[in-house]
Amino acid sequence: MSSIPDSQLEHLIEEWSHLPIYHIGRKPDNQVVIANGKISGQHARLIQCSADSLILEDLDSKNGTFVNGNRITRKIVGLTDTVQLADCSYTIGELLELASSQPQPVSAQPSPVVSDLQLPATKSTLDYTQQFAALEQVYDQYPKLRRDCRNREKMIRTGSVILSSVISVSAILSTGGTALPLLHIMSGAGLSVLVPTLCSTLLSTDEKIELIDKEYRERYRCPNPECRDPFGTREWEFLARQKTCRRCQAVWVN
């Protein structure tokens, strides 16, 4: 893998931190247009933080924005959360589908990200050694990202260190240096896919920490999709010595 100068990586991270935004409302200039008289002209907006985590923000709408029955002003949401805008109800996933069928924002919707937890098992139906090995990066990166997200400049430097180990010059050239295709490349390296979001000025520190915690909980689990037992704070090395999941018998280490 060819090395990338730190200054180039930091510049790219700065560019990538401009997250995709989808405005929702009655007016035709929104990315999600809902032709309903109870919907405000600019009712709400979605900020895409990762493949399946977003921030939903109400834009001082007249009839409010609700998530899973609770009125919100701003909240981190997932694809399956139910959103009520006035008297219209959607899941977050459905709103993104509407955005993809209408004129796109300047930053287009990211392509679906295949995480390291979704790779097919090999050798046997309970062999998850490849997926479990990838979780070492998740465990190692979690405290570093959580600590450094409080300072944007430090976060950019941390992101540069993390990404320099997984992104090559050829990868940047093949994508034209754009952020969204590289999200797919970055997704195979633990929590590094969050780096652009953690460098963004659109999120507060508390929101960044909440997002890191959410992604960590969703990823740091038994990689068997039929089990998904959460590992919590258990050290990866301890789990590696265990070798198998005591709940589903999935093989983690041969």
Cβ(196)–Cβ(162) under 8 Å? no
CB atoms within 10 A of CB 180: 17
Residues of the chain with CATH 2.60.200.20: 9-101
Q: Which helix (H) or strand (E) holds 166?
A: none
Cβ(36)–Cβ(28) under 8 Å? no
- Maximum distance among all Cα pairs of the chain, rounded to whole angstroms: 61
Distance CA 27, CA 174 (A): 37
Distance CA 149, CA 9 (A): 17
91 phi/psi in degrees, rounded to 5: -90, 165
DSSP code of 89?
E
128 phi/psi in degrees, rounded to 5: -120, 35
DSSP code of 251?
B
Torsion over CA: 187, 188, 194, 199 (sign): negative
- The tens-digit pLDDT sequence of the chain (254 residues) is 445 566 777 777 777 788 899 999 999 999 999 999 999 999 999 999 988 899 999 999 999 999 999 999 999 999 999 999 999 999 999 999 999 876 544 333 333 344 444 445 445 689 999 999 999 999 999 999 999 998 988 888 887 777 776 655 455 545 554 544 555 555 556 788 888 899 899 999 999 999 999 999 999 999 999 999 999 999 999 999 999 999 999 999 99
For the domain 9-101, what is the CATH code?
2.60.200.20
pTM value is 0.79
42 phi/psi in degrees, rounded to 5: -120, 100
